Amino acid sequence: MNYYNEIKEQIINNEITKRVKDYSKNKSDLEMYYNVGKLLKEAGKHYGEGIIKEYSIRLTNELGKGYTISNLKRFRQFYELIQKGATLSHQLRWSHYCEIIPLIKINKVNYYVKIIEQNNLSVRQLRSKIKSKEYERLDSKTKLKMIAEEKFEITDMIKNPILVKNSHNYEEIFEKILKQLILEDIENFMKELGNNFSFIASEYKIKIGNRYNYIDLLLYNIEFNCYVVVELKITELKKEYIGQIEIYMSYIDKTIKKITQDKTIGIIICKKDNKFIMEYCSDKRIITKEYELV
Protein backbone atom coordinates (compact mmCIF):
# COMPACT_ATOMS: atom_id res chain seq x y z
CA MET A 1 0.00 0.00 0.00
CA ASN A 2 1.28 3.47 -0.92
CA TYR A 3 0.57 5.35 2.32
CA TYR A 4 1.87 8.65 1.01
CA ASN A 5 -0.49 8.69 -1.98
CA GLU A 6 -3.41 7.76 0.28
CA ILE A 7 -2.58 10.62 2.66
CA LYS A 8 -2.20 13.09 -0.21
CA GLU A 9 -5.54 11.98 -1.68
CA GLN A 10 -7.29 12.47 1.69
CA ILE A 11 -5.95 16.02 1.92
CA ILE A 12 -6.86 16.95 -1.66
CA ASN A 13 -10.37 15.47 -1.36
CA ASN A 14 -10.91 17.45 1.83
CA GLU A 15 -9.96 20.71 0.09
CA ILE A 16 -12.42 19.94 -2.73
CA THR A 17 -15.20 19.12 -0.26
CA LYS A 18 -14.68 22.37 1.64
CA ARG A 19 -14.96 24.43 -1.56
CA VAL A 20 -18.15 22.72 -2.71
CA LYS A 21 -19.92 22.30 0.65
CA ASP A 22 -19.04 25.21 2.89
CA TYR A 23 -21.36 24.01 5.70
CA SER A 24 -19.45 20.76 6.08
CA LYS A 25 -15.95 22.23 6.39
CA ASN A 26 -15.51 21.31 10.03
CA LYS A 27 -16.81 17.75 9.63
CA SER A 28 -14.63 17.23 6.58
CA ASP A 29 -11.54 18.53 8.37
CA LEU A 30 -11.99 16.25 11.37
CA GLU A 31 -12.62 13.20 9.21
CA MET A 32 -9.57 13.99 7.10
CA TYR A 33 -7.34 14.43 10.17
CA TYR A 34 -8.64 11.14 11.56
CA ASN A 35 -8.03 9.25 8.30
CA VAL A 36 -4.58 10.78 7.81
CA GLY A 37 -3.72 9.95 11.40
CA LYS A 38 -4.73 6.35 10.82
CA LEU A 39 -2.56 6.11 7.70
CA LEU A 40 0.39 7.68 9.51
CA LYS A 41 0.00 5.16 12.32
CA GLU A 42 0.06 2.27 9.85
CA ALA A 43 2.94 3.75 7.85
CA GLY A 44 4.96 4.13 11.03
CA LYS A 45 4.57 0.42 11.76
CA HIS A 46 6.01 -0.43 8.35
CA TYR A 47 8.69 2.23 7.89
CA GLY A 48 9.46 3.53 11.38
CA GLU A 49 9.08 6.94 13.05
CA GLY A 50 11.22 8.70 10.44
CA ILE A 51 8.48 8.34 7.83
CA ILE A 52 6.64 11.33 9.29
CA LYS A 53 9.57 13.63 8.55
CA GLU A 54 9.77 12.30 5.00
CA TYR A 55 6.02 12.76 4.41
CA SER A 56 6.14 16.24 5.94
CA ILE A 57 8.80 17.37 3.47
CA ARG A 58 6.98 15.87 0.47
CA LEU A 59 3.54 17.22 1.42
CA THR A 60 4.95 20.69 2.07
CA ASN A 61 6.70 20.71 -1.30
CA GLU A 62 3.61 19.50 -3.18
CA LEU A 63 0.70 21.03 -1.22
CA GLY A 64 2.14 23.95 0.70
CA LYS A 65 2.15 24.90 4.38
CA GLY A 66 0.36 23.12 7.22
CA TYR A 67 2.04 19.73 7.09
CA THR A 68 4.86 20.15 9.58
CA ILE A 69 6.18 17.20 11.55
CA SER A 70 4.34 18.40 14.67
CA ASN A 71 1.03 18.73 12.77
CA LEU A 72 1.32 15.24 11.30
CA LYS A 73 2.11 13.83 14.75
CA ARG A 74 -0.95 15.62 16.08
CA PHE A 75 -3.12 13.98 13.39
CA ARG A 76 -1.79 10.62 14.53
CA GLN A 77 -2.44 11.46 18.19
CA PHE A 78 -5.99 12.49 17.25
CA TYR A 79 -6.61 9.13 15.59
CA GLU A 80 -5.14 7.26 18.59
CA LEU A 81 -7.31 9.26 21.00
CA ILE A 82 -10.53 8.44 19.10
CA GLN A 83 -9.51 4.78 18.90
CA LYS A 84 -9.14 4.69 22.68
CA GLY A 85 -12.71 5.90 23.15
CA ALA A 86 -12.66 9.69 22.92
CA THR A 87 -15.77 11.21 21.34
CA LEU A 88 -15.48 12.42 17.77
CA SER A 89 -17.86 15.35 17.73
CA HIS A 90 -18.47 17.46 14.65
CA GLN A 91 -19.60 20.29 16.92
CA LEU A 92 -15.96 20.78 17.92
CA ARG A 93 -13.42 22.51 15.74
CA TRP A 94 -9.94 21.19 15.17
CA SER A 95 -8.60 23.96 17.42
CA HIS A 96 -10.71 22.50 20.27
CA TYR A 97 -9.17 19.09 19.76
CA CYS A 98 -5.67 20.58 19.68
CA GLU A 99 -6.33 21.76 23.26
CA ILE A 100 -7.67 18.44 24.57
CA ILE A 101 -5.41 15.96 22.75
CA PRO A 102 -2.59 16.47 25.34
CA LEU A 103 -4.99 15.53 28.18
CA ILE A 104 -4.62 11.86 27.15
CA LYS A 105 -7.09 10.44 29.73
CA ILE A 106 -10.25 9.47 27.87
CA ASN A 107 -12.74 10.30 30.61
CA LYS A 108 -11.24 13.76 31.02
CA VAL A 109 -11.23 14.32 27.24
CA ASN A 110 -14.88 13.27 26.95
CA TYR A 111 -15.85 15.59 29.81
CA TYR A 112 -14.47 18.59 27.96
CA VAL A 113 -15.99 17.43 24.66
CA LYS A 114 -19.38 17.28 26.38
CA ILE A 115 -19.21 20.73 27.97
CA ILE A 116 -18.03 22.26 24.68
CA GLU A 117 -21.11 20.77 23.01
CA GLN A 118 -23.46 21.84 25.80
CA ASN A 119 -22.15 25.38 26.26
CA ASN A 120 -20.77 26.17 22.80
CA LEU A 121 -17.40 27.03 24.36
CA SER A 122 -14.81 29.00 22.46
CA VAL A 123 -11.24 27.73 22.41
CA ARG A 124 -10.31 30.47 24.86
CA GLN A 125 -13.05 29.43 27.28
CA LEU A 126 -12.00 25.79 26.97
CA ARG A 127 -8.37 26.67 27.65
CA SER A 128 -9.44 28.55 30.79
CA LYS A 129 -11.41 25.57 32.10
CA ILE A 130 -8.52 23.18 31.50
CA LYS A 131 -6.10 25.59 33.21
CA SER A 132 -8.39 25.81 36.26
CA LYS A 133 -8.40 21.98 36.46
CA GLU A 134 -12.18 21.94 36.30
CA TYR A 135 -12.40 18.20 35.70
CA GLU A 136 -10.08 17.42 38.62
CA ARG A 137 -12.26 19.54 40.93
CA LEU A 138 -15.33 17.39 40.33
CA ASP A 139 -16.36 14.80 42.90
CA SER A 140 -15.28 11.21 42.19
CA LYS A 141 -18.94 10.09 42.31
CA THR A 142 -19.76 12.61 39.59
CA LYS A 143 -17.00 11.19 37.38
CA LEU A 144 -18.40 7.69 37.85
CA LYS A 145 -21.85 8.95 36.86
CA MET A 146 -20.33 10.40 33.70
CA ILE A 147 -18.80 7.08 32.76
CA ALA A 148 -22.07 5.24 33.45
CA GLU A 149 -24.05 8.04 31.72
CA GLU A 150 -26.33 8.33 34.76
CA LYS A 151 -28.58 11.28 35.46
CA PHE A 152 -26.97 14.12 37.43
CA GLU A 153 -28.28 15.80 40.56
CA ILE A 154 -27.97 19.53 41.13
CA THR A 155 -25.03 19.08 43.49
CA ASP A 156 -22.98 16.83 41.20
CA MET A 157 -21.42 19.50 39.02
CA ILE A 158 -20.32 21.84 41.83
CA LYS A 159 -16.54 22.15 41.75
CA ASN A 160 -14.34 21.70 44.80
CA PRO A 161 -12.69 23.97 45.59
CA ILE A 162 -14.76 26.83 44.20
CA LEU A 163 -12.35 29.27 42.56
CA VAL A 164 -12.91 32.94 43.42
CA LYS A 165 -10.82 35.56 41.65
CA ASN A 166 -9.05 37.84 44.11
CA SER A 167 -9.23 40.78 41.71
CA HIS A 168 -8.02 43.32 44.30
CA ASN A 169 -5.27 41.12 45.79
CA TYR A 170 -6.68 41.26 49.29
CA GLU A 171 -4.25 39.85 51.83
CA GLU A 172 -6.87 39.45 54.56
CA ILE A 173 -10.31 38.08 53.75
CA PHE A 174 -13.54 38.74 55.60
CA GLU A 175 -16.96 37.37 54.69
CA LYS A 176 -17.97 40.78 53.34
CA ILE A 177 -14.92 40.85 51.06
CA LEU A 178 -15.47 37.27 49.90
CA LYS A 179 -19.04 38.17 48.98
CA GLN A 180 -17.85 41.29 47.17
CA LEU A 181 -15.37 39.29 45.08
CA ILE A 182 -18.07 36.77 44.18
CA LEU A 183 -20.59 39.45 43.22
CA GLU A 184 -18.03 41.20 41.02
CA ASP A 185 -17.93 38.07 38.87
CA ILE A 186 -21.22 36.40 39.73
CA GLU A 187 -21.55 34.79 36.32
CA ASN A 188 -18.30 32.88 36.74
CA PHE A 189 -19.25 31.93 40.31
CA MET A 190 -22.51 30.39 39.12
CA LYS A 191 -20.61 28.42 36.46
CA GLU A 192 -18.42 27.03 39.24
CA LEU A 193 -21.64 25.66 40.74
CA GLY A 194 -22.73 24.05 37.47
CA ASN A 195 -25.25 24.92 34.78
CA ASN A 196 -28.54 26.83 34.62
CA PHE A 197 -28.16 28.93 37.76
CA SER A 198 -29.72 32.36 37.91
CA PHE A 199 -29.05 35.11 40.45
CA ILE A 200 -31.88 36.39 42.63
CA ALA A 201 -30.27 38.50 45.36
CA SER A 202 -27.47 38.99 47.84
CA GLU A 203 -28.24 39.77 51.48
CA TYR A 204 -31.74 38.42 50.87
CA LYS A 205 -33.85 39.70 53.75
CA ILE A 206 -36.08 37.30 55.66
CA LYS A 207 -37.98 37.72 58.94
CA ILE A 208 -37.88 34.90 61.48
CA GLY A 209 -39.96 35.74 64.54
CA ASN A 210 -39.19 39.34 65.43
CA ARG A 211 -35.72 39.36 63.92
CA TYR A 212 -34.48 39.95 60.40
CA ASN A 213 -31.89 37.63 58.91
CA TYR A 214 -29.97 37.91 55.66
CA ILE A 215 -29.18 35.05 53.28
CA ASP A 216 -25.76 35.66 51.73
CA LEU A 217 -26.80 34.61 48.22
CA LEU A 218 -30.12 33.37 46.93
CA LEU A 219 -30.01 31.65 43.54
CA TYR A 220 -32.40 29.62 41.42
CA ASN A 221 -31.62 26.61 39.27
CA ILE A 222 -33.81 26.47 36.18
CA GLU A 223 -33.01 22.88 35.22
CA PHE A 224 -33.76 21.45 38.66
CA ASN A 225 -36.59 23.92 39.38
CA CYS A 226 -35.48 24.86 42.89
CA TYR A 227 -34.12 27.71 45.01
CA VAL A 228 -30.52 27.51 46.19
CA VAL A 229 -29.39 29.13 49.43
CA VAL A 230 -25.66 29.90 49.54
CA GLU A 231 -23.89 30.80 52.79
CA LEU A 232 -20.29 32.07 52.78
CA LYS A 233 -17.90 31.33 55.66
CA ILE A 234 -14.22 32.22 55.91
CA THR A 235 -13.50 29.63 58.60
CA GLU A 236 -13.60 25.86 58.83
CA LEU A 237 -17.09 24.39 58.70
CA LYS A 238 -18.80 24.49 62.12
CA LYS A 239 -21.88 22.63 63.26
CA GLU A 240 -23.82 25.85 63.86
CA TYR A 241 -23.52 26.70 60.16
CA ILE A 242 -25.62 23.62 59.41
CA GLY A 243 -28.39 24.76 61.72
CA GLN A 244 -28.32 28.25 60.24
CA ILE A 245 -28.68 27.17 56.63
CA GLU A 246 -31.38 24.62 57.55
CA ILE A 247 -33.46 27.47 58.95
CA TYR A 248 -32.97 29.53 55.80
CA MET A 249 -33.86 26.61 53.54
CA SER A 250 -36.98 25.87 55.57
CA TYR A 251 -38.02 29.52 55.40
CA ILE A 252 -37.72 29.57 51.59
CA ASP A 253 -39.66 26.30 51.31
CA LYS A 254 -42.50 27.53 53.55
CA THR A 255 -42.85 31.12 52.37
CA ILE A 256 -41.55 31.42 48.80
CA LYS A 257 -41.43 28.02 47.12
CA LYS A 258 -44.44 27.11 45.01
CA ILE A 259 -45.99 23.65 45.09
CA THR A 260 -44.69 23.00 41.55
CA GLN A 261 -41.08 23.65 42.60
CA ASP A 262 -38.65 21.23 44.21
CA LYS A 263 -37.27 21.66 47.72
CA THR A 264 -34.55 24.21 48.36
CA ILE A 265 -30.88 23.20 48.21
CA GLY A 266 -28.28 24.61 50.63
CA ILE A 267 -24.62 25.21 49.82
CA ILE A 268 -22.10 26.24 52.46
CA ILE A 269 -18.88 27.59 51.00
CA CYS A 270 -16.14 27.65 53.62
CA LYS A 271 -12.40 27.91 54.02
CA LYS A 272 -12.09 24.27 55.01
CA ASP A 273 -14.63 21.46 54.98
CA ASN A 274 -15.25 19.26 57.99
CA LYS A 275 -16.23 15.80 56.83
CA PHE A 276 -17.00 14.70 60.39
CA ILE A 277 -19.74 17.31 60.74
CA MET A 278 -21.23 16.53 57.33
CA GLU A 279 -21.27 12.83 58.15
CA TYR A 280 -23.78 13.55 60.91
CA CYS A 281 -25.86 16.02 58.90
CA SER A 282 -29.21 14.34 58.30
CA ASP A 283 -30.31 16.72 55.51
CA LYS A 284 -28.76 15.47 52.27
CA ARG A 285 -29.84 18.66 50.48
CA ILE A 286 -27.02 20.49 52.27
CA ILE A 287 -23.54 20.27 50.84
CA THR A 288 -20.26 22.01 51.63
CA LYS A 289 -17.49 23.12 49.31
CA GLU A 290 -14.24 24.89 49.97
CA TYR A 291 -13.28 28.14 48.27
CA GLU A 292 -9.87 29.11 46.94
CA LEU A 293 -8.74 32.60 45.96
CA VAL A 294 -6.89 32.79 42.65
pLDDT digits (tens, 9 = 90+) for 105-134: 999 999 999 999 989 999 999 999 999 999
Q: How far apart are the first and last CA of the chain?
A: 54
List of residues 6+ apart from 144 with CB closer than 8 A:
none
**Confidence bin at 269 (pLDDT 50/70/90):** very high
For residue 2, the model assigns a pLDDT of: 82
**Average pLDDT of the residues in 50-55:** 94
Give yes or no for residue 24 having a pLDDT over 70.
Answer: no
> Do 27 and 90 meet the contact criterion of CB atoms below 8 Å apart?
yes
For residue 236, the model assigns a pLDDT of: 94
**Confidence bin at 188 (pLDDT 50/70/90):** very high
Q: Read off the pLDDT of residues 156-183 as tens digits, 9 standing for 90 and up.
A: 999 999 999 999 999 889 999 999 999 9
Rg of the chain's alpha carbons, rounded to an integer? Answer: 25
The domain spans of the chain are 3-131, 140-293
Give yes or no for residue 241 having a pLDDT over 60.
Answer: yes
Give yes or no for residue 280 having a pLDDT over 70.
Answer: yes
Range scoring the smallest mean pLDDT among 23-27, 82-86, 252-256: 23-27
> Do 252 and 264 meet the contact criterion of CB atoms below 8 Å apart?
yes
**Average pLDDT of the residues in 38-52:** 93
Which string of DSSP letters, residue by residue, matches 78-142? Answer: HHHHHHTT----TTS-HHHHHHHGGG--HHHHHHHHHHHHHHT--HHHHHHHHHTTTTTTS-HHH
Strands 226-232 and 286-293: unpaired
For residue 232, the model assigns a pLDDT of: 97
pTM for the model: 0.85
User: How far is the C-alpha of 69 from the C-alpha of 83, rounded, in Å?
Assistant: 21
The third-level CATH classification (topology) of the domain covering 140-293 is Trna Endonuclease; Chain: A, domain 1 (3.40.1350)
Q: How far is CA 247 from the centre of its chain?
A: 32
Give yes or no for residue 58 having a pLDDT over 60.
Answer: yes
